[in-house]
Amino acid sequence: MVSYVAAVALALLVCLAISWQKAYFFLPAKELKRQAEAGDPVAATLWRVVAYSRSLRVFLWLVIGFGSAGSFLLLSNVAPPVLALIAIVGLLWLMFAWLPYSRLHPWSVKTAATATPVIAWIVITFDPVFRRIASLANTRLSLSRHTGIFEREDLIELLEKQKAQTDSRLSLEELELATNALHFGDKTVRSAMTARGKVKAVSADEAISPVFLDELHKTGHDRFPVYKGKVNNFVGTLYLHRLTDVNEGKGAKGHVRDYMHTGVIYVHEKDSLAQALHAYYFSKFSLFIVVDKHQDYVGILTVDDILHTLLGKPGELEFVQFDSKSAVAAKRDKPDKPVQDMAEESVEPENASENTEEVVK
């Protein structure tokens, strides 16, 4: 009878050790530390021992291993060894097959937090020994956790999943920026350019007048390619801001050639946006004439187009007084917004490698 009770007790200890593995390592160590530093009492308790993660893993595996062996030996005294083996193997199979796909139960977290003071003392005391065992295991078995990322599409898929994660503190703008950056190498000049039919090219000999300025404003653009004679013969770029003072009490005067920025930079419609960005670094021109393989003019590309593709559409700005020195200097006096709290409900993961999404407090 004593052997049977002791065997059951060891089997329960094994089940506890397996459930504690999930409780301690359900969250990445960095996130658990963040929660602990933010004042979460449960996270602070768990972090005491998770800080020694390698030694903690070794200790829990030793408990599982020796507990299973001890339970088997004790059961063998009161039952046939074959039945004892089936019982222990079945228990381990059930725990390891079911637990990774189950929700993190509050009971597991509470029992882990309750046992943490004792476990922390053992782990910290025997940390050098446990570290040595972990190093030997890593050396002999080449143990390492694979990221699960093999190519760019895997990263993009991960970012899409992150958008639906309820406890994510990454904003949608940050996730979109990361996704756009990963797609940036695939984007061509043609995909971001303004087609020729939508571009207003101006003649270098065009006279500056209120009517002409009104036409430029109506386009919604702030820079225009300038040609001499034929439309394909580009000689510069006209920036609308250089004409803003023409009609402010001075009257219309001069021609486009008097205000344009001379020089032209060309890019091919099949160039990547990264290549177009290199053209900007090389020339410092913010408008490029896009040509095809026949050297025909097919559109224009601006640095704004490139940034729009990379950064996405800007959201509603809380601050727009960028032309005010005093407003810019004072805007940092306002307190930053608090970090969004971690969600309290546990989410059922898709597989065992994704059990680092949320924690139950």
46 within a domain of the structure (yes/no) = yes
Q: Are residues 8 and 141 in the same domain?
A: yes
Q: Are residues 164 and 176 in the same domain?
A: yes
Q: Are residues 70 and 139 in the same domain?
A: yes
Query: Is residue 104 predicted with pLDDT exceeding 80?
Result: no
Q: Taking the C-alpha atoms of 319, 325, 326 and 332 in order, what is their torsion angle to the nearest 10 degrees? A: 50
Sign of CA dihedral 62, 67, 68, 70: positive
Q: Are residues 32 and 69 in the same domain?
A: yes
Number of domains in the chain: 3
Average pLDDT over residues 291-302: 94
Are 311 and 288 within 8 A, CB to CB?
no
Average pLDDT over residues 55-73: 87
* Residue predicted with more confidence, 95 or 209: 209
Q: Are residues 81 and 139 in the same domain?
A: yes
349 within a domain of the structure (yes/no) = no
Pairing of strands 287-291, 297-302: antiparallel
Share of the chain above pLDDT 90, in %: 26
Which residues are paired to 225 by β-bridges?
A: 237
Q: Are residues 157 and 226 in the same domain?
A: no
Share of the chain above pLDDT 70, in %: 83
Report the SS3 class of residue 263.
Answer: coil
* pLDDT score for 292: 94
* pLDDT score for 285: 92
Distance, CA of 348 to CA of 352 (rounded, Å): 10
Q: Are residues 130 and 169 in the same domain?
A: no
Query: Is residue 297 predicted with pLDDT exceeding 90?
Result: yes
Average pLDDT across the chain, whole number: 81
pLDDT tens per residue, range 13-61: 888 888 888 888 888 888 888 888 888 898 898 998 889 988 998 999 8
Query: Is residue 352 predicted with pLDDT exceeding 50?
Result: no
Domain around 196: 189-311
Q: Are residues 135 and 238 in the same domain?
A: no
Q: Are residues 258 and 210 in the same domain?
A: yes
* pLDDT score for 298: 95
Name which of 308, 223, 305, 233 is nearest 266 in CA terms.
Answer: 233
* pLDDT score for 347: 41
323 within a domain of the structure (yes/no) = no
Least confident span in 215-219, 331-335, 345-349: 345-349
Q: Are residues 280 and 206 in the same domain?
A: yes
pLDDT tens per residue, range 318-346: 667 777 888 888 876 655 443 334 334 44
pLDDT tens per residue, range 184-195: 888 999 999 999
Distance, CA of 336 to CA of 332 (rounded, Å): 8
Query: Is residue 359 predicted with pLDDT exceeding 60?
Result: no
* pLDDT score for 289: 95
Query: Is residue 293 predicted with pLDDT exceeding 90?
Result: yes
Query: Is residue 357 predicted with pLDDT exceeding 50?
Result: no
* pLDDT score for 75: 79
Average pLDDT over residues 216-224: 90
* pLDDT score for 333: 64
96 within a domain of the structure (yes/no) = yes
232 within a domain of the structure (yes/no) = yes
Domain boundary among 145, 178, 198: 145
Q: Are residues 207 and 307 in the same domain?
A: yes
* pLDDT score for 140: 56
293 within a domain of the structure (yes/no) = yes
Distance, CA of 183 to CA of 160 (rounded, Å): 13
Which residues are paired to 304 by β-bridges?
A: none
Q: Are residues 169 and 207 in the same domain?
A: no
pLDDT tens per residue, range 231-257: 889 999 999 888 875 555 455 578 999
pLDDT tens per residue, range 157-205: 888 888 888 878 888 888 888 888 888 888 999 999 999 999 999 999 9
90 within a domain of the structure (yes/no) = yes
331 within a domain of the structure (yes/no) = no
Domain boundary among 145, 172, 199: 145
**CATH code for position 251:** 3.10.580.10
Average pLDDT over residues 94-120: 80
